[in-house]
Structure 1
Amino acid sequence: MSIYSEKYDVIVAGGGPSGVGAAVAAARNGAKVLLIEKYGFLGGMATAAAVPAFCPYTDGEKVIIKGIGLEVLEAMKKESNYDSPIKDKKELIKRMYDWIPIDTEALKRVLDNIVLDSGTNILFHTVATDVVSEDGNIKAIVVENKEGKNEIRCKYIIDCTGDADIVVKAGGEHEYGDEEGLVQAVTLCYRISNINMERLIEYFKTSGDTGNLTKAVERARLNNEFNFKEKHVAGFSIQNDGVAGLNFGHVYEVNPLKAEDMTRAEVESRRNIPAMIDFLRKYVPGLENAVLVSSGPMVGVRETRRIIGDYRLTARDYFDRVEYEDSIARYAYPIDVHPSKTRDVIYKDENDQYVTSRYKPGESYTIPYRTLLPKGLKNIIVAGRPISADRAMHGSFRVMPACFATGEAAGTAVAICSKEGIELRDIEIKKLQEQLKKQGAYLG
């Protein structure tokens, strides 16, 4: 039977970390699931944008992103033959679970296997372009690919597009960016090879520089040889012997929902890479002979829409470490909001919110179930970066580990509701929480 003639319990739109978490959780809990993805692979920003490393999975003391997200991380590490030479227990925990380099090709295979093994159906090279809805209930989703347009029927939708595309198509309310209508800068990540690892590691040990290459940038600026308008410089991650990935270079005042803006960002980013590599060769020992291997298929996007949900998380919730009774995930990443335009760029970050908002080891905040539910819509739930929050709070949970967690919660909730024949708002929260714990999720 054709995919288009089936009726699914749930359709997941978007195959990034939130979509993977949602699809796998729903399928493992007995739902009939279809996952739609516009590329020919899963992973979202980790693969489509070649982001070089996962943000932290721990709160500085213990792993707090568990369940499907942790399963993916461990499988990728095994596939990549990842190992850590650090022996100290506390440091080892961080080293094994925080800022882990992403092996893009290994991750693609791992995600294929985990999703397909769960029983989820995947439809690549397909975009969800519209919905068929009635009184806040979505009856079908409209998809488009080389075969043309088709409607696929479903009971529930999980919007994991990263941009709340399905919520908008269904008439849901949302916010976008800051008060000027601007969002965080975008970045084209890339990989370099031909690195002298001994010289590079010795430089890191003796210079006091970090993976952000802060001191190298400062020296280049003093010599008027660093002309990029950067907030804090490079995210530098050693991915393999002689190979590193860089999250390095911002393009400002880009609306990622506009093809014209994204085109400008892609072209400008690629144009800047040779000069960045010249800087690396001159100012970072061990990179004298570095060469470009590849850049991401697309620029990395940090921010677009945020839904208006049943509850709106705020920076006050972050700083108060609020414990919600309907918590479905925990996280502890700082508030990380990159500038939207060049006039906001600062070179010293001692007073930057990313630094001042850091939690003490062992602290974390909760993400309530209500933030996943768009106001006015009945059978759609959202996971990933567009969940309901203010812009500062979004700066913390927008990253991939948290997206895995909210995705798993959304998929589990939908599967329970499908079995019981109830609406998403009628779910018994304790039942959802208990099921998440059984799956390995950490709720504190």
Structure 2
Amino acid sequence: MPIADEYDVVVCGGGAAGCTAAIQAARAGARTALIEKNGILGGTTVVASVNFPGLFHTRSGRQVIQGIGWEFIAETAARGGAKLPDFSIPYPPKHHPRHQIWVNKFIYSKVIDDLCLAAGVHLRFHEMPANIHEDSEGLYVTVAGKTGLETIKARKIIDATGDANAAGLMGYAMERSEYRQPGTLIYRMGGYDPKDVDKRVLERLYAEAFASGRIAATDHSHPEAGDPPLWRELRTGGGNANHLIGIEGDSSRTKTEADLKGRAVLMNVYRLLRKVPGCENLEIDYAANESGIRDTNRIIGEERITGEAYTGGYIYPDAMCYSYYPIDIHRHDGNDIDIRPLADGIVATIPYGALIPKGSKHALVAGRCISGDDEAHSAYRVQATCMATGQVTGAAAAIASKNRIAVGDVDLHELRETLGRHNAIVPGLVSKGIMEGEK
């Protein structure tokens, strides 16, 4: 197949990790293409409606993730699409959502459009990698688009698909959790007033539906003490409320199954609530385009992040960014969540080696499919950390492409300096006589 175009860096996936990676690579001087299966940037934040990126700050308010990902947030806020919380107000353990940042999905995605275009990123929407071939001349990426197949050439590739799809096409080794964390379909309800709802009737109708198998305990969140199931959803209007257990999501087939299940679960809830007095006019005002997937594949990298190192705040010798989200394991067989915040004063680090598939010369991975165990993955999979790892891979790929070297041979000092010039917060980067990360 003839070569349709040539790039220094090709990024697969236009979510939190891929957008930061592409912008960073382009700003560092690399001719960069960004391949995205949808027609909009932002990934899970936009298409799965997980539009509350975090965490960029510690509980006490110290910012530990900045750079390009923070540009997305700051510019969205400047355009009226987000309101930043007061990060100086500490929150109690397990109350980290207080430092999440709710963004308007349209404005957020338009901000990323503008930053990509300003950086010179070549946006390739409605495409997915179908085959990746590597030889001494470089990488040949065949993409499937609306008009068929097309091959582009690249010196380096960044897998930011979330499921390590590109790394899988290249044959790199993967690992998976024994049990996958469930997914969630986010939604919003309206057309009713909670004060008009009879809780006793709700409880009776729910019990009947549960006994007949028309609704499951995982179709909704845990009820609060003294409240019937689904009351919390009525009070809040829905949101991040269900657990789609037994799904995968790393292939087109299994992602289809996950999306179908998400809508079926929401229909169960809708049908039940419409029978409750006070909810006769209840409507589903909004449902995300896709079910959010938490857990599929992870690469086996040159290094592997462990839960022990993450929660202990271990500073890897090749640490390139921070992560602060708590351990956040959604149980595979129910709607329980194991949340374990980091201890006061602890901030986790992400090593460069965890972004390199073992044995890779031309491929890097960013986002939730980097190398780590189940515990660490449950924390670093969130958007802010994905942005930070994306910026690291964008800088590293640009350096490796320019110098015609393997990604594992990138000089770590040069990589840290490059990230620092682009406003990233980098462990080990000396600035004004202070080692970043020290109090």
| Residues 220 and 242 in structure 2, CA contact (< 8 A), matched pair in contact too | no
1:429 to 393, 412, 425: 412
The yes-or-no answer on 1:48 pairing with 2:47 is yes
1:98 to partner: Cα distance: 2.1
The yes-or-no answer on 1:233 pairing with 2:233 is no
1:47 partner SS = helix
Aligned to 1:71: 71
The 5 A counterparts of 1:329-340 are 329-340=321-332
For the residues of structure 2 that align with 1:307 and 1:167, how far apart are their CA atoms?
8
- Give the gaps of 5 or more residues in structure 2: 224-234, 427-436
Taking only aligned residues, the RMSD between alpha carbons, in angstroms, comes to 3.3
- Does the C-alpha gap of structure 1 residues 292 and 71 become closer, same or farther in structure 2, counting only changes over 3 Å? same
1:131 partner SS = strand
Q: Under a length normalisation based on structure 1, what TM-score does the superposition of the two structures give?
A: 0.81
AA aligned opposite 1:144: A
AA aligned opposite 1:229: A
Aligned to 1:166: 166
The yes-or-no answer on 1:345 pairing with 2:337 is no
Q: Percent identity?
A: 31
Q: Deviations over 1:151-172 (max 9, x none)?
A: 1011100111111111111111
| Residues 355 and 371 in structure 2, CA contact (< 8 A), matched pair in contact too | yes
For the residues of structure 1 that align with 2:6 and 2:217, how far apart are their CA atoms?
50
Aligned to 1:8: 7
Q: Deviations over 1:373-414 (max 9, x none)?
A: 111221100000110111111111011111000000000111
- Does the C-alpha gap of structure 1 residues 106 and 195 become closer, same or farther in structure 2, counting only changes over 3 Å? farther
2:187 to 183, 186, 190: 190
For the residues of structure 2 that align with 1:194 and 1:105, how far apart are their CA atoms?
24
| Residues 219 and 244 in structure 2, CA contact (< 8 A), matched pair in contact too | no
Aligned to 2:35: 36
The yes-or-no answer on 1:114 pairing with 2:102 is no
For the residues of structure 2 that align with 1:243 and 1:231, how far apart are their CA atoms?
15
- Does the C-alpha gap of structure 1 residues 260 and 435 become closer, same or farther in structure 2, counting only changes over 3 Å? closer
- Does the C-alpha gap of structure 1 residues 330 and 280 become closer, same or farther in structure 2, counting only changes over 3 Å? farther
The 5 A counterparts of 1:59-138 are 59-62=58-61, 63-83=63-83, 89-90=88-89, 98-134=99-135, 138=138
Aligned to 1:145: 145
2:30 partner SS = coil
AA aligned opposite 1:188: L
| Residues 187 and 251 in structure 1, CA contact (< 8 A), matched pair in contact too | yes
- Does the C-alpha gap of structure 1 residues 153 and 80 become closer, same or farther in structure 2, counting only changes over 3 Å? same
- Does the C-alpha gap of structure 1 residues 125 and 26 become closer, same or farther in structure 2, counting only changes over 3 Å? same
1:246 to partner: Cα distance: 1.0
2:405 partner SS = coil
Which structure 1 residue ranges, 4+ long, deviate > 4 Å from structure 2?
A: 94-97, 193-197, 219-223, 242-245, 277-283, 287-290
- Does the C-alpha gap of structure 1 residues 13 and 427 become closer, same or farther in structure 2, counting only changes over 3 Å? same
1:144 partner SS = strand
1:97 to partner: Cα distance: 8.0
AA aligned opposite 1:353: D
AA aligned opposite 1:106: I
1:433 to partner: Cα distance: 1.2
1:89 to partner: Cα distance: 3.6
For the residues of structure 2 that align with 1:252 and 1:26, how far apart are their CA atoms?
37
AA aligned opposite 1:427: V
2:312 to 320, 328, 341: 320
AA aligned opposite 1:69: G
The yes-or-no answer on 1:250 pairing with 2:243 is yes
1:188 to partner: Cα distance: 1.2
| Residues 195 and 243 in structure 1, CA contact (< 8 A), matched pair in contact too | no
Q: Deviations over 1:94-127 (max 9, x none)?
A: 9998222232112221111111111100010011
| Residues 299 and 369 in structure 2, CA contact (< 8 A), matched pair in contact too | yes
1:232 to partner: Cα distance: 8.6
2:129 partner SS = strand
Aligned to 2:401: 418
- Does the C-alpha gap of structure 1 residues 234 and 132 become closer, same or farther in structure 2, counting only changes over 3 Å? farther
For the residues of structure 1 that align with 2:57 and 2:245, how far apart are their CA atoms?
31
- Does the C-alpha gap of structure 1 residues 111 and 280 become closer, same or farther in structure 2, counting only changes over 3 Å? farther
Aligned to 1:292: 284
For the residues of structure 2 that align with 1:306 and 1:44, how far apart are their CA atoms?
18
1:27 to partner: Cα distance: 0.4
AA aligned opposite 1:310: E
- Does the C-alpha gap of structure 1 residues 305 and 83 become closer, same or farther in structure 2, counting only changes over 3 Å? closer
AA aligned opposite 2:245: Y
Aligned to 2:375: 392
Aligned to 1:211: none
| Residues 14 and 160 in structure 1, CA contact (< 8 A), matched pair in contact too | yes
1:425 partner SS = helix
1:335 to partner: Cα distance: 1.3
1:223 to partner: Cα distance: 7.4
For the residues of structure 2 that align with 1:6 and 1:82, how far apart are their CA atoms?
37
The yes-or-no answer on 1:380 pairing with 2:363 is yes
